[in-house]
Amino acid sequence: MKKFLFRFNWFSFFSMIALIVIGAMVLASAGEARGALVFATKWKSMINTAIFGLILYFIIAFTDYRTILSYLALPSYATAVILLILVLLVGTEQFGGKRWLWFFQPSEISKLCVIAFLASFFGTKEEMFKGHYGFKGFLVGASAILLPCILILMEPDLGTTLTLVPAVLVMLLAAGVWRKGLVVVLAVGCIAAAAVLAAIHEAEKPGVSQERRAVILKYVPLRPHQVERVKTFLYPETDKNDSGYNLRQSKMAIGAGGFSGKGYGKGESIRRDLLPAMGVMNDFIFCVWAEEMGYIKGSLLLIFLFAVLCLSTAWTAVVTNDKRGQIFALGVATLIFAHVYINIGMCIGLVPITGLPLPFLSLGRTFLITVMCALGIIQSISLHREDEK
């Protein structure tokens, strides 16, 4: 028992619990401000989901992760691909995209399935590649992520891809897969992203004719609503009442909180309906917390807890000698970091607005369960790091 208490990753566990508590608090505040029962009880749904997630967390944590990865990694990956296909065929369409299959989002589950599959593969197949994955390993990794990403983009859900790709890149680098090639791929991706931004910047700048705009955007591989989001990011002041409204109100809410905040349950942006109802429960939940609790005990505290969670998850990769555990831990740490960076970044205008949840705070039951299961495996890696393989 003492051995397990010593190996237990308390930093990861308590930061997760603290974030769940904050999530329940901010959802309760945002829901109560709306008055309608459908919003006022959302925090209870989140708590019930978190309790179920904790049960799964401890079951997974006290199960040897190597058994989980050995027997479930490949079947879960195959299942995720099937579910992603099904959601395109029979999924529920909401807000212009098919992301829901009955009561859950397959794209959220697929993140964990892809990470688990790659960790299991690259942690156990070195002999097959004679101790060096090289270019062949790169092809395996690229193929494994390509199909899920294509299916996710077809929903369309660009945000999920933007978090999954960096997680996989870090995992492949840790596995020793054709590192020079990965650097080249990363550089090409950055150049392509810069080219898209430059094209939209040129097409949407004031004074450009509709004909020239149409010609430029013809070569931009984004949907119209995605172009609008990038336009809002590049020219936030050009349309304050339409596409740029949410970003403008988000910045104002965060700024209104100041250093000390307006007090819990006293945020004006949500109570005066300055931000959309579901937006503040999901994409812009950070704004509610920042306005009510302020910079010191609000924003900084939240960022500190996420930093502890990500660093303690990455530290698990350092203390274990099993390559599967190392690769998996780095993938999960990068995934959580990407979610936090993009979500908070879009609230302050650092990145384009993307429909991406903030872990443990945004109302998203599928994503909450997925992250808690992933952290359960991280805890299992910590608890079993010295066991015989």
- Please write the tens of the pLDDT for every residue from 184-211: 888 888 898 888 888 888 887 877 788 8
**Cα four-point dihedral sign 136, 76, 339, 149:** positive
CB 136 within 8 A of CB 129: yes
d(CA 30, CA 282): 10
CB 308 within 8 A of CB 354: no
Amino acid found at 358: L
**Cα four-point dihedral sign 219, 183, 80, 339:** negative
Place 243 in a pLDDT band, splitting at 50, 70 and 90.
Answer: low
Place 240 in a pLDDT band, splitting at 50, 70 and 90.
Answer: low
pLDDT at 379 over 90: yes
How much is the pTM?
Answer: 0.90
d(CA 163, CA 149): 11
Helices 179-204 + 210-217 axis angle, to 10: 170
Share of the chain above pLDDT 90, in %: 33
Q: Residue 250's pLDDT is what?
A: 82
Place 102 in a pLDDT band, splitting at 50, 70 and 90.
Answer: confident
Question: How confident is the model over 104-160, as pLDDT tens digits?
Answer: 888 899 999 999 999 999 888 766 666 567 788 888 888 888 899 898 888 878 888
Question: How confident is the model over 279-301, as pLDDT tens digits?
Answer: 677 788 898 888 888 888 889 99
* Burial category of 293 from C-beta neighbours within 10 Å (exposed 0-12, middle 13-18, buried 19 and up): buried
* Burial category of 283 from C-beta neighbours within 10 Å (exposed 0-12, middle 13-18, buried 19 and up): buried
Q: Residue 210's pLDDT is what?
A: 82
User: Which DSSP category does 101 fall into?
Assistant: B
Place 257 in a pLDDT band, splitting at 50, 70 and 90.
Answer: confident
What is the domain partition of the chain in residue ranges?
A: 2-174+239-383
Buried b (16+ CB within 10 A) or exposed e, 102-125: eebbbbbbbbbbbbbbbbbbbbbe
Cα–Cα separations (whole angstroms), residue 62 to 59, 215, 235, 326: 6, 58, 51, 18
Q: Residue 39's pLDDT is what?
A: 67
pLDDT at 5 over 80: no
Q: Residue 205's pLDDT is what?
A: 80
In this prediction, residues 51-67 reach a mean pLDDT of 94
